Structure 1
Amino acid sequence: MRAANLSTTIPPMEQNSLYDRPDLYDLMAPPDRVLERFYVEIARERGGRVLDLACGSGRLTIPLAQAGLQVVGGDLSAEMLAQARRRAEVQAVSLELVRLDMRDFDLEGRTFDTIIVAMNSVLHLHSLDDFRGFFRSAGRHLSPQGRLVFDAFLPDIAMLNADPGRRELIGTVVHDELGAIMVEETARYDPLTQVRHVDWYWSSEMEKDFWQVALPMRSIFPQEMPLLVASGGLRLIERFGDFDRSPLAAGSMRQICVCAPMPAP
């Protein structure tokens, strides 16, 4: 397993980011076999070369590699990449990991049959410049018949209008050293930026609110998505409402997007 020496643009990490603590993040993001199967199958349809952006601690990168695909995992967080490397070593999985910012990256002319951004990670992009840079960077790294595939929650109007001062329990997990942990959140939605500003509060049996992290997430409405994709020179060619490839419908909870390069003039 090797880390590539590649040209990237990497801004300073945010202070007190959720991604500083892979041990806690992984507790809130357990394996999802349905999601894994979808991305493995759709990558196999295109070919063997896969770029897993916002790969985090390797939750999807490792299953992709175990399926026999040639995988590069990229993430902004050095801590998450270190966790991915440890997990891959424990499972004797060979993959390549690189630190990058998906808003602007250059992997030295390499192209991929499938580029993946899974588990709502595209919602970390907030501005039009963020999206334009991301789609342009992804497009430069797609093979002629390659596909960019990503999933994002559909905005829930009731959730966006929730009381910003109210704490909601979102999960209870067990940490190897800290024991039982309760995770709560508050959220405030800004309709001008379409960013939902979430704060997560972590409490153990010994200490309430021993950690607090901000998790601002962009809302992308269905009619807006094709315009964002096109802003970076790609086209949205297919969209599903779930990982079973059912059509996007009014009752869908997510939009799963398949994008391709623009056809040559």
Structure 2
Amino acid sequence: MPDLYDDPELYDLVAPRDEAMEQFYVEVAGGHSRKVLELACGSGRLTVPLAKSGALVTAGDISAMLDRAEAAARESAVDVSFVELDMRDFDLGTKFDVVVIAANSLMHLNTTEDLVRAMSAARRHLAPGGIFAFDIFVPSPSLLSLPSAQRRPVGVFPHKHLGEVTVEETITYDPVSQVSQADWYWSTKLDPTFRRTTIHMRQIYPQEMPLLLQLGGLTLASRFGDFVRQPLDPESWRQVCLCR
């Protein structure tokens, strides 16, 4: 079955720019000449704003979207150092003022071991006083408890060649592993079954996050419920974290 990240064009369709996210991470990065490492950079939707802010950006990923990110940087005339890496285990031989894993990318690590390895790798690359910043969803009991055969709409997206693309999903959740499997069904008016992709995401509950960070040698310094730094509360659907 194809992976969502096998087709950067379709990924960009369902993951458009988020100005609030961009502004948050640009502020955390700190601007001119600050060294920033962005892990799981994807198609570069955050990489380019970080570089435009004056930060010295290194961006890494293992997916096919790394080529897309490099193209985006060229189109925007920004200088970014791209590197193919696995965020669970890498050594770049340098330290950074900020390490970023944005847009729920940490949730693709499905085991506690892999999460801790990634956090440890991020910590090893932090300069003294550096910040590890990331955001993930708050697990949704109502969403995770939907019948596994019940499709729900993800959205309808305009595509320059395909016309309107409709995406629906089913979700299956394993409460033991805390991993959800979302199957996405892609359709157009001419082709109702042109694509199906699967995403596995580890659900990380707010109470366990500080413990995972501690295992990775990090401390949760601040946590917000959104990118405008509202407090995390029972209505929040994001955990936006700054760690040292």
Aligned-partner residue type, residue 63 of structure 1: P
Query: Alpha-carbon deviation of 1:97?
Result: 0.9
1-side partners of 2:12 and 2:137: how far apart?
19
User: Could you tell me the percent identity over the aligned residues?
Assistant: 48
2:55 corresponds to 1:72: no
Partner Cα distance (1:87, 1:145) in 2: 31
User: Letter of the aligned partner of 1:220 in structure 2?
Assistant: I
1:204 is aligned to 188
Residue 23 (structure 1) aligned to one of 9, 33, 40: 9
RMSD: 1.3
The counterpart of 2:145, out of the listed 146, 155, 161, is 161
Distance 1:216 1:202, change over 3 A: same
Q: Secondary structure at the residue paired with 1:234?
A: coil
- Within-5 A mapping of 1:198-237: 198-237=182-221
Cα distance in 2 for residues equivalent to 1:65 and 1:187:
36
In structure 2, C-alpha distance between the alignment counterparts of 1:134 and 1:143, rounded to whole Å: 16
Deviation, 1:45, is 7.2
Q: 1:140 aligns with which of 124, 132, 135?
A: 124
Unaligned runs of 5+ in 1: 1-14, 261-265
SS in 2 for 1:173: strand
Which residue type is aligned with residue 65 of structure 2? Answer: M
Match of 1:103 in 2: 88
Query: 2:107 aligns to what?
Result: 123
Residue equivalent to 1:48: 34
Aligned position for 1:91: 76
Distance 2:158 2:31 in 1: 38
Letter in 1 for 2:160: D
Q: Which secondary structure does the structure 1 equivalent of 2:128 belong to?
A: strand
Cα distance, 1:185 vs structure 2: 0.5
**Corresponding residue to 1:243 among 196, 216, 227:** 227
Aligned residue in 1 for 2:19 = 33
Maintained 8 Å contact 1:182/1:204? yes
**Residue 242 (structure 1) shift:** 1.0
SS in 2 for 1:189: strand
Paired residue for 1:192? 176
The worse-fitting range, judged by mean Cα deviation, of 209-218 and 39-48 is 39-48
Q: Could you tell me which of 49, 62, 71 is aligned with 2:48?
A: 62
**1:92-142 CA-partner distances (Å, limit 9, x unpaired):** 1211111111111111x2110000111111111111110111011001100
Report deviation, 1:188: 0.5
Q: Distance in 2 between matches of 1:45 and 1:239?
A: 21
Matched residue of 2:50: which SS?
A: helix
After TM superposition, give the deviation of residue 251 of structure 1 in Å: 1.4
SS of residue matched to 1:139? helix
Q: 1:45 to 1:250 in 2, by over 3 A?
A: farther
Deviates more, 1:34-43 or 1:228-237: 228-237
Give me the TM-score of the superposition, normalised by structure 2: 0.97
Query: Are the counterparts in 2 of residues 196 and 217 from structure 1 also a CA contact under 8 Å?
Result: yes
The alpha-carbon deviation at position 184 of structure 1 amounts to 0.7
- Residues 142-188 of structure 1 deviation map (CA, whole Å, 9 limit, x = unaligned): 00110100001101111111111011111111222222111110100
Aligned to 1:263: none
Segments of 4+ in structure 1 off by > 4 A? none
Residues in 1 aligned to 2:118 and 2:144: alpha-carbon distance in whole angstroms: 25
CA distance in 2, matches of 1:143, 1:169: 43
Comparing 185-194 with 242-251, greater Cα deviation is found at 242-251
Measured after TM superposition, the shift of residue 202 of structure 1 is: 0.8
On the 8 A contact 1:198/1:216 being kept in 2, the answer is: yes
Cα distance, 1:47 vs structure 2? 6.5
